[in-house]
Amino acid sequence: QVELQESGPGLVKPSETLSLTCTVSGGAISSYYWNWIRQPPGKGLEWIGNIYYTGSTNYNPSLKSRVTISVDTSKHQFSLKLSSVTAADTAVYYCTRTLGMEDYFDYWGQGALVTVSS
Amino acid sequence: DIQMTQSPSTLSASVGDRVTITCRASQSISTWLAWYQQKPGKAPKLLIYKASSLESGVPSRFSGSGSGTEFTLTISSLQPDDFATYYCQQYNSFPFTFGQGTKLEIK
């Protein structure tokens, strides 16, 4: 059974960089696309971007200037960095899997709440 | 971006009811649509993909239909475990986008 687990600081100061890591267990990291999705408290879902195990990425244009997604296949991990954060970036961040580049999300992590506050 | 609009935003229903949630896309997405169920404090769970394909392990009371710009999620007989928020998602093109959600409440 594939499991995804987010990890990283739960509190980030404004203007700093949010960093999260997703660890994949129970399945291969190759041959899949790995995504980040966020959900502000009480609001809907926003796709941030994805990465193939080869390192090829796709980003949401609304966040592209601030987002970097990377993968470390040897550690079965992929990561998210979001720079210059503001309170509007406070959200639960989910890591997810898709089989194809443009596809549905079949596995989700439990989510990590990141609060942006001084 | 493709805008996804769900209706209604809130739906009150009773156990045993048949309910339908609608999702409309701002442009044609063929059948590249998924439905998810989310309970408070939990990650969304995949129910339906490619508009009408039931994910493994999902009860058969859930069904999806539609193509192009209009889609529906139907629950044939509501069970207590079904009261949750439901989201549609298009994966026809980047950026992937979600509907705003439909909260299914107990009447």
B86 or A28, which is more confident: B86
The predicted pLDDT at position A31 comes to: 87
Judging by DSSP bridges, how do beta strands A112-116 and A11-12 pair with one another? parallel
- pLDDT attached to residue A25: 96
Span A6-60, pLDDT tens digits: 999 999 999 999 999 999 999 999 989 999 999 999 999 999 999 999 999 999 9
Average pLDDT score over residue span B18-26? 98
B102 and B20 in contact (C-beta within 8 Å)?
A: no
In this predicted structure, the answer to whether residue A100 has a pLDDT above a threshold of 90 is: no
The fraction of chain A above a pLDDT of 70, given in percent, is 100
Q: How many CB atoms lie within 10 A of CB A15?
A: 11
Residue of A39, A69, A104, A110 for testing the chain B interface, max B β-carbons within 10 Å: A104
Phi, psi of B28 (to 5 degrees): -60, 135
CB contacts of A60 in chain B (<8 Å) are 94-95
- List the single residue in B with minimal CA-CA distance to A38: B43
Tracing tokens 């209604």 back to the chain, one arrives at: B8
Give the integer Cα–Cα distance in Å for B83 and B88: 16
